[in-house]
Structure 1
Amino acid sequence: MKSQMKKKRVSSTPNTRCNTGDKHCINPCCFFCSMKETDACLRREGLATCFREMPHGDTHEHVSALSGLWHIAMSQPNDPKFPSLGIFKCMASLIHKGINDTLWLLTNQNIYIPYYAAHIIGSYTMNKENFAQLAVQSGVIPPLLELLRGKISWVEQRVAVRALGHLASYKSTFESVACHEQDVVNLALNLASTCLEFVYVDFIAVKENKRVEYHRNLITRGIGDLEMENRKAEEWASQLQCWSLYLLNCFACKDRSLDLICKKVFLKDLCYMWGGLINHTSPGGVGLIRILCYSKVGRKSIAELPKVVNSLGNLSRSSDDWQYIGIDCLLLLLKDPDTRYKVVDIASSYLIDLIELKSLGDKSNVGETITKVLLSLKPNRLKVGAALQEVVDLNVERRNKEKLLAEEKLEETRVLVGLIKQQANHMFRLGKVEEALLKYAEALGVCPLRFRKERMVIYSNKAQCHILLKNADSAISDSTRALCLSNPANTHGKSLWRRSQAYDMKGMAKESLMDCIMFINSCIKSGDVKIPYHAARMISKHMDATWLFATARSKVEKTQELNHVSREENGGNHEEQARDDHKALMMMEKRNNQVHGLSTIIEEPFHAKEIGRRKMERESRRFKKGVVARPT
């Protein structure tokens, strides 16, 4: 069927007008004539007849009617008029006809009909449970499942999984979807894992004049150029993945099919399913991981995969909108006595940097909650590990001591901290980065916890020292602590930029990109309308690496290179050809691994130990002009 669709070219998007008009229309079941009827009773009767007869007719006006219904369903999804007149049964019949009658599907513009029909079902069942009940009673689930299986194309799969997700989200209609539980879950799992690669191969990587025409028309509504076409296809592919995850969420919320969802390969894949900048309303794969963390089976499966736990940790220390999900998941794993000691070493190393975080969005006392969970792990202080000792020192012993300090003593301490910080800054300017680092640590040891702004600046300066010393992990840790102390959280511009650099050093493109975007936002809010050049370079570098189809493109390129390497030279020598193919694969993998070793983007190269006195004087002058990043 797919090859037939590619041969069949449709010139434009369907019209949305009755071509014959009122006076000349001879169709007694014309949708547009029924809509124009002024008498309410006759209009309802005409529309009901239209929905009843439409699947049995075969006129070119069907597509126009479906297009008009699509617009109405999108703009008025809560209007009960059409659902009460039998629109669901009509749409289900049209989908069934499109799947089983290829000749009809490729006649006129009927190729559009299954897409519109499934979209209409999804729109009307999006908000209203009683509409969902009507849809199930009208038999929409079997034809939607056929579309989900890919009986036509990925475009129809997108709207089918959307509609099934709505039906599965209501208590009264969930079981009707769950009657096909294993089939639905396996299809959604496969779709979530493979849809990006499939859309890339089937559409994005295809030359403009070779793409399926009706796909192009649906994506752009017939009015977009190639750039818009690609951008919308990317958006649709992201929606296809996120809606597949939403359908799986409906089962996971009810502890259904967890044995299928919690397969190791799929859980690892979830870490890379990112709604991101395209589909920012969806938490992507981490949303499903969070649901799984609420079940014992899910926690057990996740705790056995350090890669997934590390991914949650990276999210918890990021400026992503879903940062709180990463924190919640780690806390849920630590609270469970069966999983806490499997993840404590990894989870605590991330959470320790967040214990001074007051609020995150609408969530308050985040740091205190983290502290309580960490302290509950090993209540006997004699057995507290090195990673947790800081929690005890910082939030128990030190906090209690500072409560007894008088105001005069606090002010004296503030002055002392300022002096130590000045000494550290002076050492930094002289290129004595390691000595400056020790002084900043000394200042933190003295600085009271209530002086949050001062502590934020010192942590941020420590992060800059670590960057110059090429210690990315420590730079991430210190800049995260600085961002926890900023008000509101994650808004200190210098710390965002420094953490972006540190993530860049580790090859963590997504995290670096998010911090860099937040850094630019902070610049704009501060009144600086010019985007710093080094930040623009960073974004340009990582936009390609975090492109939705980056992995799919890499796989396609790798396959093409393997198929091309030395085939003509080797002739019939299959063993030599296999060795060359393997050698090429190893070279490509090595090249891909080297991407993580790219030097980080900084304002200016700064190698402190190699700079002589005269050069240091020049650097000092440049510091004053603001060319090179310096301590605050």
Structure 2
Amino acid sequence: MPLIDDEEVVLVLSGLWNIAMTQPDDPEFPSLGIFDCMVSLIYKGINDRAWLCRDQNMYIPYYAAHIIGSYTMKKVEFAEKGVASGVIPPLLDLMRGEMSWVEQRVAVRALGHLASYGRTFEAVANHEEELVKSAMHLASTCLEVVYNMFVGEKDERKRLKYHKDLLTRGIGGLDMQNRKAEEWASQMQCWSIHLLNCFAVKNRSIDLICTPEFLKDLCEMWGGLVNHSSPAGVGLIRLLCYNKVGRTSIAGSKEIIENLCKLSRSSDDWQYMGIDCLVLLLNDPNTRYKIIEIATFHLTDLAELRTLRGRSKVGEMITKALLCDFKRRKSIINNSEFERALEEIWALKVERRKRVHMVSMEKIEEKRLLVSLIKQEGNHSFWLGKVEAALAKYTEALTLCPLGLTKERAVLFSNRAQCHLLLSDPDAAISDTTRALCLSDPPNSHTKSLWRRSQAYDMKGLAKESLMDCLMFVSGCMKLDTAEHAKIPHYAMRMISKQVDATWLFAAARSKMMNNDVDKVPQWREGTRITSGNKGFMTGLSTILEEPLITKDGNTRRKLERARQRK
């Protein structure tokens, strides 16, 4: 194929690409020298500009790199054949940006597969420093590059035709192109992080990866909605937390710790990774006191978490990390709020637990009735608009409620959170809803608490956390609704619309473009690269502002009644 100058070569290569995608374990083509062929085609595309621009040859380097990645995805034997055929140098050229972002995407994917196997890792590691730096740069900049070069260009005529055709296979308009570009940009970021994982798991290039600038970028790399199985940035952060140098670097960044704390009190699939990171940092004497004050205020809310994604006794693990050297820690850190938080978890997990075994069933039932009466008094005060009085009653009921009455305590925490919302105290609302969600069975399933925490996060401007809670709330509503056609609450749809726009993959890049503060984007080589054209931008979903929450001094009986109906 590399020796044939025929316009149908790309059609043959497209067919081979389809076979490699659908039958990556089939040894026929790898045994026939397909890797040597793909290496020659990539080099021809990079070095022979006239040939590349003729007919449809522009597609060939992309297909060739994709075929290499597909055949090395599952079989170490194929990966060894590829390395022996010299696939690494041309893939490195594409990853450096010798053509465009679509080739970078498939190049970093293929290199990540080769680095995943012990038998081919060292061949990749021969280029370790360049690869790690390139992967870091690509992970940090790829979203902006894709937006500026493609998605942000609303004039379809100014988008490269071969990019559009690769994204949509020649079918579909602007909307499909944008959806696929979003997916591919997310994949490129996640595959770049995967390549870094391959080095980090072997404790290689830790110092290089742990630069403050990259770690700051890393905690914003979400994954999630587009790549459901990828933990993206937090996965690499957790891996770094198993290394002493990594823990020291991460503990030195207040911003990263705050992001881990927010993740630990969210309904994100990777919540447990945030908790793991914080516990690892707390258990290291060299990093414990750098993060203890920030982490304590978040982790105390998770002390009663029983299971999480197959893990048991998660709350016990958190409690053990927080209360390690409890008395000595109090003397080291002079912070009254911090001391109160530790005293609270000590009272909850040690003192009150001891008293549980000393209380008879009769006494528990008496307390249940008393708590129920106090809760009803709180509800009555709430309905009358006396939110502060209701909050006091719910607090009194929680103080008296036995630890074993988890359902009752979950409701009380959730009700008290609603009071905090109405009193414009989102931090307290987040704390109480998190405690209610830890007590729910299964965890994070109490729908009212999810909605209330979503509102609280929205008040604080934390769009990602608000969106995840709202999505979980909608999922819970759908399960509870036994009707054939379950309806999503309109207020939840408004919240989702608002937060989807704020958490859009390209939101940051769009904001830069809107402010005319776009950094220079890597340009293509002369003859094959293009520059950014129109400075237009995609508007995404329209933002719908939520109605303001009730304030304690406002005349808002109508809104209070609406809130009461949701309790």
Distance 2:467 2:262 in 1: 13
Alignment counterpart, residue 122 of structure 1, candidates 69, 77, 80: 69
**Equivalent residues in 2 for 1:150-299, closer than 5 Å:** 150-206=97-153, 207-299=155-247
* Aligned ranges 1:458-607 → 2 under 5 Å: 458-527=412-481, 529-559=486-516, 601=546, 606-607=550-551
Partners of 1:303 and 1:338 lie apart in 2 by 9
Deviation per residue, 1:565-596 (Å, 9 max, x gap):
xxxxxxxxxxxxxxxxxxxxxxxxxxxxxxxx
Matched-pair contact (CA < 8 Å) for 2:464–2:499: yes
For residues 599 and 237 of structure 1, the distance between their equivalents in structure 2, rounded to whole angstroms, comes to 27
**Structure 1 residues 379 and 153, CA gap change in structure 2 (3 angstroms):** same
**Partner residue in 2 for 1:87:** 34
Partners in 2 of 1:605 and 1:392 — Cα distance? 34
- Could you tell me how far 1:427 is from its partner in structure 2? 1.3
Contact 2:424–2:550 (8 Å) recurs in 1:
no
Q: Does 1:353 align with 2:301?
A: yes
What SS does the corresponding residue of 2:516 show, helix, strand or coil? helix
Q: Residues 21-36 of structure 1 correspond to what in structure 2 (within 5 A)?
A: none
User: Are the equivalent residues in 1 in contact too, given 2:138–2:192 (CA < 8 A)?
Assistant: yes
- What's the CA shift string for 1:468-492, capped at 9, x where partnerless? 1110111111001111111111111
Alignment of 1:372 onto 2:329 = no
Q: Summarize deviations over 1:54-83 as a string: whole Å, max 9, x none.
A: 222212221111111111111111111111
Unaligned runs of 5+ residues in structure 1 are: 1-53, 563-597
Report Cα offsets for 1:28-48 as digits up to 9, x if no partner: xxxxxxxxxxxxxxxxxxxxx
Whether the aligned pair in 1 keeps the contact of 2:151 and 2:178 (CA below 8 Å) is yes
Q: CA deviation at 1:379?
A: 5.2
Q: 1:559–1:356: structure 2 CA closer, same or farther, 3 Å change rule? A: same
SS in structure 1 at match of 2:563: coil
User: Contact 2:281 / 2:287 at 8 angstroms: preserved in 1?
Assistant: yes
Report the Cα offset of residue 382 of structure 1. 7.4
Q: Residue 224 of structure 1 aligns to a residue in which SS?
A: coil
Partners of 2:381 and 2:387 within 8 A in 1: yes
Provide the rounded CA distance (Å) in 2 between the counterparts of 1:506 and 1:205.
29
Q: TM-score, normalised by structure 1?
A: 0.82
Residues in 1 aligned to 2:89 and 2:14: alpha-carbon distance in whole angstroms: 23
Alpha-carbon displacement from aligned partner over 1:164-222 (angstroms, at most 9, x marks no partner) = 00001111111111100111011111111111111111001121111000000000011
Alignment match, 1:302: 250
Paired residues of 1:501 and 1:601 also in contact (CA < 8 A): no
Larger radius of gyration: 1
- Are the counterparts in 1 of residues 25 and 75 from structure 2 also a CA contact under 8 Å? yes
- Counterpart of 1:606, as a letter, is I
Sort the Cα spacing of 1:86 and 1:303 in 2 relative to 1 into closer, same or farther, 3 A.
same
1:92–1:410 CA distance, 2 compared to 1 (3 A): same
Give the Cα–Cα distance (whole angstroms) in 2 for the partners of residues 201 and 560 of structure 1: 12
Instruction: Report SS of the residue matched to 1:338.
Output: coil
CA distances 1:392-417 after superposition (whole Å, capped 9, x unpaired): 10011101101111111111111011
Partner of 1:429: 383
Query: Are residues 619 and 259 of structure 1, via their aligned partners in 2, closer, same or farther at CA, if it must alter by over 3 Å?
Result: closer
Counterpart for residue 531 of structure 2: none
- Shift in Å at residue 98 of structure 1? 0.7
Residue 580 of structure 1: aligned partner = none
Task: Please state whether the residue corresponding to 2:461 is helix, strand or coil.
Answer: coil
* Fraction of identical pairs, as percent: 62
> Larger relative CO (CA 8 A, sep 6+): 1 or 2?
2
- C-alpha displacement of 1:321: 0.5
Matches within 5 A, 1:376-455: 376-378=324-326, 385-455=339-409
Matched, 1:73 2:27: no
1:601, distance to aligned residue in structure 2 (A): 2.6
| Alpha-carbon distance, 1:391 to partner | 1.5
- The one-letter code sitting in structure 2 at the alignment partner of 1:266 is F
Report deviation, 1:419: 0.8
Deviation of 1:381 after TM superposition, in Å, equals: 9.2
Alpha-carbon distance between aligned partners in 1 of 2:40 and 2:554, rounded to the nearest angstrom = 77
Q: Which amino acid aligns with 1:540?
A: S
| Residues in 2 aligned to 1:386 and 1:599: alpha-carbon distance in whole angstroms | 39
- TM-superposed CA distance for 1:386, in Å, is 2.1
Structure 2 CA distance for aligned equivalents of residues 380 and 560 of structure 1: 50
TM-score, normalised via structure 2 length: 0.91
Aligned residues of 1:462 and 1:478 also touching (Cα < 8 A):
yes
Measured in 2, the distance between the counterparts of 1:190 and 1:560 equals 19
Q: Report Cα offsets for 1:427-476 as digits up to 9, x if no partner.
A: 11122211211111111111111111001000001110110111011111
Q: Which runs of 5+ in 2 are unaligned?
A: 332-337, 520-542
- Bigger shift: 279-288 or 158-167? 279-288
